[in-house]
Amino acid sequence: MAIRRFYIEPEQLEKQAPRITGRQASHIRKVLRLPEGEAIVLVNGRGSVFNARITGFEQGAVRVAVEGQAEDHSESGLDLTVAQGFLKEAKMDDLLRQATELGITRWIPVITERTVARPDAGRLKKRIERWRSIAVEAIKQCGRSTIPEIYSTYDFSEVLDLAETVDLPVFFWENTDSPIPSPSVTRPGSVLLLLGPEGGFTENEARQAEKRGLRFASLGPRILRAETAAVAACSLAQYLFGDLQKSP
């Protein structure tokens, strides 16, 4: 059986006796019932992976000894940005969790013409903190070594500026029948997926995106809910240009 992976706070790795704490600790003890001496892998959320061993148990914590750095196979070689039109409350949270599991590199909430949910500065700060903790939970759960970068909100025009720095910027638009390009046509190192909010993009936004050279792509003949569309787009990008076809 594959060695189990756990997240450890980077600060713990600087201590003499590092500890895994919180829900993971009780999962190790009560659900997995891993014994002292068990070999495990630790990830620090910043792209480093370590071979380690369980050395003991305490109230609410599992003590570990780090034995050395390991190779990381949990991160996609594709630099994948999701720029998502701001959705209402929990939808953004769920989407970020799923996109993190699908290996995104960066998450950008975008204010578009049809964005209904526009948080003020104080609320936005709290949302960003919450997204960070959701991303940490998601990397723990799926064994990634890196927490995706979480940006503050971008305006639509700022995303178009960013798109110019990316190999393949894709504008998902239900009114096109062009497919996302295949790897036989392009092998991008970086991809940006731009997806609309619940009400979709306006014609004006589509025109601007076209002028700035974004590639228009369809996700098939059905109109998907925004959160379904983003998950489908991430899966396609990782399948075509990233690591979705590799086993753990």
Nearer to ligand SAM, 72 or 198 (CB): 198
Region of residue 144 (phi > 0: left; psi between -120 and 50: alpha; otherwise: beta)? beta
Q: Which two tokens stand for residue 103?
A: 């290996």
With binding defined as CB under 6 A, does residue 219 bind ligand SAM? yes
- Considering the complex, state which of residue 29 and residue 212 has its C-beta at the smaller distance from ligand SAM: 212
Instruction: Report if residue 156 touches ligand SAM, rule: CB under 6 A.
Output: no
State in Å, rounded, how far the first CA of the chain is from the last one: 12
Does 160 sit near ligand SAM (CB under 6 A)?
A: no
How many residues sit in the footprint of ligand SAM (CB under 6 A)? 18
Does 170 sit near ligand SAM (CB under 6 A)?
Answer: no
Question: How far from 79 is each of 30, 138, 207, CA to CA, in Å?
Answer: 37, 18, 26
Give the interface segment with ligand SAM, choosing from 64-72, 100-108, 190-198, 205-213 (CB under 6 A). Answer: 190-198
Strand ranges in the chain using DSSP code E only, listed in sequence order: 5-7, 19-21, 39-43, 49-58, 61-69, 79-85, 106-111, 149-150, 154-155, 168-172, 190-195, 215-217
Surface-to-core class of residue 146, CB atoms within 10 Å of its CB (0-12 exposed, 13-18 middle, 19+ buried): buried
Q: Are strands 215-217 and 149-150 parallel, antiparallel or unpaired?
A: unpaired
CB under 6 A: which stretch of 102-110, 180-188, 199-207, 240-248 binds ligand SAM?
199-207
The two tokens of residue 198 are 């619940």
Q: In what order do the strands lie in the sheet with 39-43?
A: 5-7, 39-43, 49-58, 61-69, 19-21
Per CB under 6 A, 198 contacts ligand SAM: yes
Residue 226 found at the interface with ligand SAM (CB under 6 A): yes
The stretch near ligand SAM (CB under 6 A) out of 58-66, 73-81, 140-148, 215-223 is: 215-223
Site string for ligand SAM, 40-69 (x = CB under 6 A): ------------------------------
Q: How far is the CB of 132 from ligand SAM (least distance, A)?
A: 25
We find the least distance from the C-beta atom of residue 175 to ligand SAM, in angstroms, to be 8
- Provide the 3-class DSSP secondary structure of residue 43: strand
- Assess 229 for contact with ligand SAM (CB under 6 A): yes
Selected binder of ligand SAM within 163, 172, 191, 240 (CB under 6 A): 172
Q: Which residues bind ligand SAM (CB under 6 A)?
A: 172-174, 195-196, 198-201, 218-220, 222-226, 229
